[in-house]
Chain A
Amino acid sequence: MNNIFTNAMARNTIYGSVLVILLFFVLTFGTVRTLPERVHHENITPQVVLGKAVWEQNHCVGCHTLLGEGSYYAPELGNVYQRIKHQTNETHAGPFIKAWIEIMPTDAPMRRQMPNFNLSKTELNALLAFLKWFSEINAANWPPNIEG
């Protein structure tokens, strides 16, 4: 065994990773090219960008997931706009989400709590625009159902 598989040969196996890295770059190139279409880049308005900042600066991802990434303490928010729309209707979904965020926390004993972030009207509208834009991303049919 030792003579068949020498240290030099063992070392040379590492060069195989060059191929892998090249392939990774090719696939990345393909991804970056198709993303604008998949995320509807034209819909990323300044309001959506502001909404993203509100999202990040209030650390929503510390309790929620966004397309499955984040924390598993509270509901998925990538499709929350669709979910609320499903529960209410097109005209009520937006106001419902904003009202929800404003009336937090529930203060229901023992129940998991979401803090109140004291967001301004502009910030709330931006957050909503962000969530709405996000819910239209083509995520390969994920989540499996409306509950996230």
Chain B
Amino acid sequence: MDQVVQKPAEIPGYTLAITAESLYLLNLLAIPGLAFLILLWLFFKYENSSPLLGACHLRQTFSASIWAGVLLLLVNGVIFAVGGYQTPYTWVIAVLYFTICHTTLVLLGLLGLAKAIAGQSFHYPLIGPTC
């Protein structure tokens, strides 16, 4: 396999790309809010000054994180505000909505991370800017 492929790790912006995707996932899974703050900080610090690959993943995850917040918190808030806590259907809709939505977002993050590790760019469908 002596093809001349550039090793992913040598592409400029590689580490930043992986960091961005990891933070996106951490924000969804382990430390919501905190991970987003770090991502926010990275975004303002490096968005314009980093190599293409890093900047792309940074913009994607930043935008996707904001959408994630809106989709998960706001919409669920609305579901309960409209339905109330007392009827079972509110719970069914909230549980289903949250599970499906959250899972989709996490799955996209996993695909993004797999792209970052491969040194390739990734576009979050609908919720990511073009880059």
Interface membership of A2, Cβ < 8 A: yes
Main secondary structure of the interface of B (DSSP, over half): helix
How many angstroms between the C-alpha atoms of A2 and B7 in the bound complex? 10
Instruction: Categorize the interface residue count of chain B.
Output: under 10
Query: Would you list which residues of chain A between 1 and 15 have a CB under 8 Å from chain B?
Result: 1-2
A1 CB contacts on chain B under 8 angstroms:
9, 14-15, 18
B18 contacts across to A, CB distance below 8 A: 1
Report Cα–Cα, A2/B119, bound state, in Å.
Answer: 13
Name which residue of chain B comes closest to A4, CB basis.
B9
Interface size on A, residues (CB 8 A): 2
Mask for B4-17, Cβ within 8 A of A = 1, else 0?
00010100001100
Chain A positions within 8 Å of B14 at CB level: 1
Residue of A nearest to B7 (CB): A2
- Report how far A2 CA is from B10 CA in the complex, Å: 10
Bound Cα distance A2, B18 (Å): 14
Instruction: Scan residues 1-53 of chain B and give those whose CB is less than 8 A from a CB of chain A.
Output: 7, 9, 14-15, 18
Interface residues of B in 51-83 (CB under 8 A from A): none
Q: Specify which chain A residues have a CB less than 8 angstroms from the CB of B7 in the assembled complex.
A: 2
Give A31 to B14 CA distance when docked, in angstroms: 49
Cα–Cα distance between A1 and B10 once the two chains are bound (Å)? 10
A 1-33 to B, binary, CB cutoff 8 A, 1 in contact else 0: 110000000000000000000000000000000
Q: How far is the CA of A24 from the CA of B18 in the complex (A)?
A: 35
Q: Smallest distance from the beta carbon of A147 to chain B beta carbons, Å? A: 15
Q: Which of B9, B14, B15, B18 has the most CB of A within 10 A?
A: B9
In the complex, chain B residues whose CB is within 8 Å of the CB of A2: 7, 9
- In the complex, which residues of chain A have a beta carbon less than 8 angstroms from the beta carbon of B9? 1-2
Given the complex of chains A and B, what is the CA–CA distance between A42 and B9 in angstroms? Answer: 65
Closest to A3 in B: B9
CB distance from B16 to the nearest CB of A (A): 12
How far is A1 from B16 in the complex, measured between Cα atoms in Å? 12
Complex A-B: 6 CB contacts under 8 Å = A1-B9, A1-B14, A1-B15, A1-B18, A2-B7, A2-B9
**Among all A-B residue pairs, the 6 with the closest Cβ atoms:** A1-B9, A2-B9, A1-B15, A1-B14, A2-B7, A1-B18
